[in-house]
Copies of this chain bind each other. A is one copy, B any other.
Amino acid sequence: MGDATTHDLLQTRLDAYMAKKGLRSTGQRRTIASAFFNGPSHITIEELLVRARQEDSRIGYATVYRTLKLFTECGIASEHNFGDGPTRFELADEGDDHHHDHLICLECRSIIEFHDETIETQQEKIAKRLGFEVTSHKHEIYGICANCQSARAKKKR
């Protein structure tokens, strides 16, 4: 993840989607896409706006919202809300077999990604048993990360 190949793939998917829908490749969209591809993961609209404005200071709030909605629709971005503040966006997984979920530290708000085939499989089994056709899922584990645990232990001493 994060290499040129991934970006190319996602860029291609975006281009295809825009072509199919008759959408236009504008300067703002290109700037926001670049900020999104090159910025940190789990980025917010606000953070993205700051980065995009370094390229083009006239970019507006609503445009970033609209553009990220577009990215999500076409499948190159996925959104998560981890229960505090605003929605965060990340590059989409490249396929079902690459899907990842998150552990979120309630103290420092750091985010760790994990992938677990056992859970994915089990989930499918449950859905099938209940006659459910799965579209997507959200699996978030909240807790205290290793770092914050030792910081706490230190404080107590």
Query: Which residues of A does B touch, CB under 8 Å?
Result: 103, 105-106, 112, 114, 116, 118-119, 122-123, 126-127, 130-146, 149
Contact = CB atoms under 8 A, between A and B. Distances in A.
A133 B145 CA distance: 6
Contacts of A141: 123, 126-127, 132, 134, 137
A135 B106 contact: yes
A3 to B, nearest CB: 24
A141 B138 CA distance: 6
A146 B149 CA distance: 44
Number of copies: 2
A54 to B, nearest CB: 32
A67 B146 CA distance: 34
Given A103-B127, A134-B142, 6 more contacts: A112-B132, A116-B126, A131-B149, A133-B143, A133-B149, A134-B143
Contact of A145 (B126, B132, B145, B149): B132
A130 B137 CA distance: 22
Given A137-B142, A138-B138, A142-B138, A119 B130 contact: no
Nearest to A127: B141
Nearest to A150: B131
* Top-8 shortest CB links A-B: A131-B146, A134-B143, A135-B143, A133-B144, A137-B141, A138-B140, A139-B139, A133-B143
